[in-house]
Copies of this chain bind each other. A is one copy, B any other.
Amino acid sequence: MKRIIIIGGCAAGPKAAAKAKRLNPDNVVELYTKENMVSYSACGLPYFIGGVVPNVNNLMVRSPEEFKKSGVDIFLNHECTKIIPEEKTVVFNNEKTVSYDELILCIGSNPIVPKINNYPLKNIFNLKVIDDGVKIKQIAITAKSVVIIGAGYIAIELLEAFVKNKLKIYVIEKSRKMLRVLDNEISDCVRDEILKRGEGLIEFLFEDEVIEFIGEEKFEGVKTKNGREIFADFCVIAVGVLPNISIAKEAGIEIGIKGGIRVDNKMRTSVPHIWAAGDCTEQSFIPTKQTVYMALGTIANKQGRVAAINASAEEHGITETFDGVLGSMITKYFDYSIAATGMSESSANSLREYINIKPISSTVEEFDKAGYMPQIGILKIKLIADSVTGTILGAQVVGTGDADKRISVVASALRAGLTISEFLHLDLPYAPPFSSTIDPLLTAAYKLKQIIDS
Residues of A near any B CB (own CB < 8 A): 11, 41, 43-44, 47, 52-53, 58-59, 61, 153, 157, 286, 296-302, 305, 321-332, 339-341, 370-374, 402, 404-405, 407-409, 411-413, 415-418, 422, 425-435, 437-438, 446
Contacts and interface: CB of A to CB of B under 8 A. Distances in A.
A153 B434 CA distance: 15
A428 B408 contact: yes
Contacts of A328: 427-430
A297 B430 CA distance: 8
A430 B330 contact: yes
B332 A373 contact: no
Contacts of A432: 41, 43-44, 47
Contacts of A446: 305
A111 to B, nearest CB: 19
Contacts of A416: 412-413, 415-418, 422
Given A298-B437, A370-B44, A426 B412 contact: yes
A331 to B, nearest CB: 5
Given A298-B430, A405-B408, A408-B429, A437 B11 contact: yes
A404 B407 contact: no
A41 B372 contact: yes
Contacts of A61: 371
A44 B432 CA distance: 6
B437 A301 contact: yes
A300 B427 CA distance: 12
